[in-house]
Amino acid sequence: MNIVQPHLFIPGPTNIPEPVRQAMNIPMEDMRSPEFPKFTLPIFEDLKKVFKMKDGRVFIYPSSGTGAWESAITNTLAVGDKVLMSRFGQFSLLWVDMAERLGLKVELCDEEWGTGVPLEKYADILAKDKNHEIKAVFATHNETATGVTSDIAGVRKALDAAKHPALLFVDGVSSVGSLDMRMGEWGVDCCVSGSQKGFMLPTGLGILAVSQKALDVNKSTNGRMNRCFLSWEDMIKTNDLGFFPYTPATQLLRGLRASLDLIAAEGLENVFARHHRMGAAVRAAVDAWGLKLCAKEAKWHSDTVSAILTPDGIDANIVLKTAYYRYNTSLGTGLNKVAGKVFRIGHLGALDEGMIGGVLFNVEMALLDSGVNIKAGSGTGAAAEYFRKTATRSATGVDAPKAKAA
């Protein structure tokens, strides 16, 4: 048995900080006690700060992000409604699949994997939709399968330029809490997230942020979808009092409280800056290895996950297995169209320079063992140089000592 903690660098579930783990290590509690609202009501308000919301509310479901996806659709749209979506990776693909299975008519932009939301196509389609048949526009903020981040502000600009009233839905599962999500400024109506990514928790909470516009649409009585477990109406009645319509995942909520406190203590903008540094260091290593990212252009680069292409003739699954069995390191596998072609390094959540350096060290060994022609130390060295050049003051506020001149 391996007594050493496995090195987890998949793009979720992410590493859980010790204060969050400790916060969840408590006995079961009464979720209907008169004291419970004192705990839950501030969580709803603090979550809104992470989403940067101007109005609306946040729902917390005992589910994965998929449950929040379905909640957004079934509480605002009707069977037969037309929606605009794009597909360019496994998770945008699954969202399209859900929309179709729930009876929506999808106008689909099928894009090359390694690219993102096609802003020009969206703008053209919305401008031509003079009768406003499109009821919602969907955009995957961060496509985890390919390491691609899309421009949500650009989607809002396309909607505004066309003076289009469609709702804007965003999949922020692997972005919220790690990448900048300006829900209010960008006019996002439903933003989906999950506990196991930037919130640094186990899987089990589907988090859905909803604008006032979406709440108003929900109140309409015209042809809405049937729903029960995911009903906003039931959640609102009980959430307003600090409770839930069914048994909540109390220990996960305790962890969420600790996670929100850690995010607030670091400062949301500092969280974003840290993730950018981690992502940029990994990209520096990839360049030094002479490898390529799945993301086709720099504008698509994700600061939460890098999908790295293996050279022709090298099965990425061999790299993954070598890292796992020989170096106790879990990397993200390639999914669907990129299966066997990429391995993924997740760099989101509770991570720092030393942890990134460690995974790059292990990846270098796994690549060499798998027959990839790279120079040992090239990637780790490039990342180290990047970190040194971009270093800020330490957490104590004291600069590192400078070497004395000879």
- pLDDT at position 401: 45
Domain boundaries, the chain: 18-264, 267-389
- pLDDT at position 224: 79
**Residue 292, Cβ neighbours under 10 Å: how many?**
16
Q: For the purposes of burial, counting CB atoms within 10 Å of the CB of 369, is it exposed (0-12), middle (13-18) or buried (19 or more)?
A: middle
**DSSP secondary structure code for residue 57 in this structure:** E
Q: For residues 225 and 73, is the Cβ–Cβ distance under 8 A?
A: yes
- pLDDT at position 1: 59
Question: Residue 321 phi/psi, 5° resolution?
Answer: -70, -35
Q: Strand, coil or helix: what is 218? A: helix
Buried b (16+ CB within 10 A) or exposed e, 160-185: eebebebbbbbbbbbbbbbbbbebbe
- pLDDT at position 4: 82
Radius of gyration, CA atoms only, the chain:
22
Q: For residues 346 and 304, is the Cβ–Cβ distance under 8 A?
A: yes
> Tens digit of pLDDT per residue, the chain (406 long)?
567 889 999 999 999 999 999 999 999 999 999 999 999 999 999 999 999 998 999 999 999 999 999 999 999 999 999 999 999 999 999 999 999 999 999 999 999 999 999 999 999 999 999 999 999 999 999 999 999 999 999 999 999 999 999 999 999 999 999 999 999 999 999 999 999 999 999 999 999 999 999 999 998 865 579 999 999 999 999 999 999 999 999 999 999 999 999 999 999 999 999 999 999 999 999 999 999 999 999 999 999 999 999 999 999 999 999 999 999 999 999 999 999 999 999 999 999 999 999 999 999 999 999 999 999 999 999 999 999 999 985 555 555 444 444 3
Question: Residue 139 phi/psi, 5° resolution?
Answer: -145, 125
332: alpha, beta or left, given left = phi > 0 and alpha = psi -120 to 50?
beta
Q: How far apart are CA 350 and CA 190, in angstroms?
A: 26
CA angle 275, 385, 330 (to 5 degrees): 50
- pLDDT at position 393: 59
- pLDDT at position 356: 98
pTM to 2 decimal places:
0.94
Q: CATH number of the domain at 18-264, please?
A: 3.40.640.10
Q: How far apart are CA 287 and CA 400, in angstroms?
A: 28
Q: Strand, coil or helix: what is 176? A: strand
Does 13 sit behind a cis peptide bond, omega within 30 degrees of 0 on the bond before it?
yes
Q: How far apart are CA 112 and CA 167, in angstroms?
A: 25
Length of the chain: 406
Q: Strand, coil or helix: what is 172? A: coil
Q: How far apart are CA 98 and CA 72, in angstroms?
A: 11
- CATH classification number, 267-389, choose in 3.90.1150.10, 3.30.70.20, 1.10.645.10, 1.10.1740.110: 3.90.1150.10
Q: How far apart are CA 348 and CA 149, in angstroms?
A: 13
Q: How many helices (H) and strands (E) does the chain have?
A: 13, 14
- pLDDT at position 163: 98
Q: How far apart are CA 344 and CA 150, in angstroms?
A: 18
Q: 267-389: same fold as 18-264?
A: no
- pLDDT at position 405: 44
